[in-house]
C-alpha cells in the first residue's frame, strides 16, 4: 500500500469514527498516568476536541483540586500524547462508572 493510499484510508477511518475506540483507550491510559492513580480512580477521560480533553470528575471537591493541578497535568499529557496537542482540560462533575 502506498503512503498516500494509507493516509487517505486513515483519514476516512478517522472521519467515520472507526478509530475512536482505540484513541479513547489511549486517552484513558495517558490520563491515568498524568493525573496519578488516586485521581484517575475518580475521573474518566473523554474525547479530545480542538486541543481540549474532556474529563468527567466524581465531585466538585476533586474538580477544584484538578484546577490547582491543571498545568502540571497538561505538561505530563503533552509528553504522553504529543500528537494530540492537548492545551486545556474541560472538567465536568458527573457519575463515574
- For 28-48, write each residue's pLDDT tens digit: 999 999 999 999 999 999 999
Give the residue numbers spanning the domain of 73: 20-93
CATH number at residue 88: 3.30.300.180
In a domain, 68, yes or no: yes
7 belongs to a structural domain: no
At residue 25, does pLDDT exceed 80?
no
pTM comes to 0.74
Q: Say if 5 falls within a structural domain.
A: no
Buried b (16+ CB within 10 A) or exposed e, 23-50: eeeebeebbbebbeeebbeebbbbebee
45 bridge partner residues:
55
pLDDT in tens, 43-68: 999 999 999 999 999 999 999 999 99
Domain count, the chain: 1
What CA–CA distance (Å, rounded) separates 65 from 50?
24
Residue 8 lies in a domain: no
Amino acid at each position: 500500500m502506498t503512503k498516500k493510499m494509507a493516509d487517505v484510508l486513515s483519514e476516512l477511518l478517522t472521519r467515520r469514527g472507526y478509530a475512536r475506540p482505540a484513541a479513547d483507550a489511549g486517552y484513558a491510559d495517558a490520563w491515568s498516568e498524568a493525573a496519578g492513580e488516586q485521581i484517575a480512580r475518580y475521573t474518566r477521560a473523554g474525547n479530545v476536541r480542538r486541543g481540549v480533553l474532556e474529563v468527567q470528575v466524581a465531585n466538585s471537591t476533586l474538580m477544584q483540586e484538578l484546577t490547582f493541578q491543571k498545568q502540571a497535568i497538561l505538561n505530563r499529557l503533552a509528553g504522553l500524547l504529543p500528537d494530540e496537542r492537548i492545551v486545556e482540560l474541560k472538567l465536568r462533575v458527573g457519575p463515574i462508572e
